[in-house]
Amino acid sequence: MVNKLEVSQYFPDEQTKLSLYTSDPEDNNCEHSHSFQELVIVEEGHGLHVINGKPVFIQQGDVFFINVNDVHFYDELGTLKLINILINPQVGFIYLAQIDELLGTLTGNRAANYGWLTPETKAQCKRLISQIFCEEMSTVANVALRESLFFNLVTTILYAQSQAEYSTTRYKLHKLLSYLQENCFNEIDWQQMAHQFHLTQRTASRHIKEVTGLTPENYLKRLRLVSARVKLKETDMTITEVAYLCGFSNSNHFTTSYKKVFGVTPSVERKRAG
């Protein structure tokens, strides 16, 4: 059963609209959902964000939005530190009528929707977050100012996305990683894929290794294993069926790879989930 995090656990009271939670995903490596929304900024590190059964690579500077009842967890490839701005849907904003539409453009369900902040913009966003959650800002008299600062934060993040395409290498890599995530169960022709993104195969391989810490082949295998982990826990498919669906040619190779990464065999993983 998926653990559900409640407003009462993470907000000072149930009438508070915004709350701040700075987390190490070691706390969040078990699949969970919540009754609140989250705007998440990756402050440090990199890893996989598995949302609604789908793995998405995340790294320092990435931004995404988690809606109520989205089911997710984090699989660390490196040390991950997150800034989570929690939004209580049971309480309305007073002055921000259309903010949900803006936040929805950063939905965590699709890799292509994830935003990215340069170190300078990330620092600017952290200053805004400090202002939003300073002690004085919690008074009723400052509701308008607090909502104004939150709107400033969201629009700063969105403006940063409109500039991302001008960072050619970063933009190409973002698109390339999104492609791998969308096609991780298929056989990849690495040379053809690199050509598709106007890169040499050597350059593409180097960028993937620099960003993820893994060779392209090992990164692809990690995407497949994380997807398989979700299916073992959430479906009644046999282990062999999961192996083939997730791109492994045989169940023995799947079992060996799975134990190497997660420390247990697929059969033990399934028993734990049961």
Strand pairing of 3-5 and 32-34?
parallel
Task: Judge whether residue 14 has pLDDT over 80.
Answer: yes
User: What percentage of residues in the chain have a pLDDT greater than 90?
Assistant: 51
Task: Judge whether residue 20 has pLDDT over 80.
Answer: yes
Residues of the chain with CATH 2.60.120.10: 3-117
- pLDDT value of residue 45: 84
Q: Categorize the per-residue pLDDT at 131 as very low, low, confident or very high, splitting at 50, 70 and 90.
A: very high
DSSP letters of 49-112? Answer: EEETTEEEEEETTEEEEE-TT--EEEEESS--EEEEEEE-TTS--SS-SSHHHHHHTTBTT-GG
* In contact, 235 and 53? CB cutoff 8 Å: no
Q: Give the pLDDT confidence of 56-82 residue by residue, as tens digits.
A: 888 888 999 999 989 998 887 667 899
Rounded to two decimals, the pTM is: 0.81
168-273 classified as CATH 3.40.50.2020: no
| Tokens coding 269 | 């993983």
Q: Give the pLDDT confidence of 171-224 residue by residue, as tens digits.
A: 678 778 888 888 889 999 999 999 888 888 999 999 899 888 899 999 999 999
Task: Give CA–CA dist 44/264, Å, rounded.
Answer: 28
Exposure of 187 in the CB half-sphere (CA atoms within 13 A): 2
- pLDDT value of residue 182: 84
- pLDDT value of residue 138: 61
Task: Give CA–CA dist 60/273, Å, rounded.
Answer: 31
Residues of the chain with CATH 1.10.10.60: 168-273
Task: Give CA–CA dist 195/41, Å, rounded.
Answer: 31
Q: Give the pLDDT confidence of 149-176 residue by residue, as tens digits.
A: 999 999 999 998 777 665 567 767 877 8
- pLDDT value of residue 166: 56
At the second CATH level, the architecture of 3-117 is: Sandwich (2.60)
Task: Judge whether residue 42 has pLDDT over 60.
Answer: yes
DSSP state of 153: H
DSSP state of 167: S
| Average predicted confidence (pLDDT) for the chain | 88
